[in-house]
Amino acid sequence: MSRFDPYHITLTVFTQLRLQGFELGVDSLLTAYHAIDGGWGQQSILALKETLSLLWCHSLSKQSDFELIWSQLKIEEEETPPSLPAPQPPTENRAERREQKSRRPEPPQLPKPSPKRPLLSPTPIPDPEPQPQMATLGTLPVQAPFMPANVGDSTEDIGTYWPLSRREMV
């Protein structure tokens, strides 16, 4: 059974959902990553699917769209591992058991430690090789939260205009 990468799957699903018109921002992706860090959706692909659906789908229509996109991505769902057969009792005779007990296992050989270098020696540190970027990586547009424009404090001006006296009305 292979271990899946929930972060890679989350990014793939996030990108496809954005392409299909879901209103998801970087904050949605970071929220999903935070949930995965907290242990949600790490058990199986089905748990990840449910977690992402809860985070990103706010209506039944969005949930059906999510299900459709998830099925189009052909993410392989983990199968339950086959149950192991019950262990059979050993059929060894007593003489073989005694021989095994009398043998002593050899101690493991430890690798020889390399000579330590002084910490202050000026050895050049090679630069790490840049890793090739994946073709799917790129900049993601940031969706700013809706903030209504502040028109100004009109409460200060109310006293200067209302109520109008008869003299001001002429």
Nearest to 76 by CA among 116, 94, 49: 49
Structural domain boundaries of the chain? Answer: 6-72
User: Using one digit for the tens of pLDDT, what is the confidence trace for 79-134?
Assistant: 434 434 444 444 556 556 556 656 655 655 666 655 555 555 556 666 666 555 55
Instruction: Answer yes or no: are the C-beta atoms of 140 and 22 closer than 8 Å.
Output: no
Distance CA 144, CA 23 (A): 11
State the pLDDT at residue 4. 77
Instruction: Answer yes or no: are the C-beta atoms of 50 and 41 closer than 8 Å.
Output: yes
Predicted TM-score (pTM) of this structure: 0.44
State the pLDDT at residue 10. 92
Indicate left, alpha or beta for 40 from its phi (over 0: left) and psi (-120 to 50: alpha).
beta
User: Using one digit for the tens of pLDDT, what is the confidence trace for 13-27?
Assistant: 999 999 888 888 899
Query: For residue 121, what is the DSSP state?
Result: -
Of 42-46, 56-60, 90-94, 138-142, the poorest mean pLDDT is in 90-94
Provide CB contacts within 8 A for 123, sequence distance 6+: 117
How many Cα atoms sit within 13 Å of 103 on the Cβ side? 7
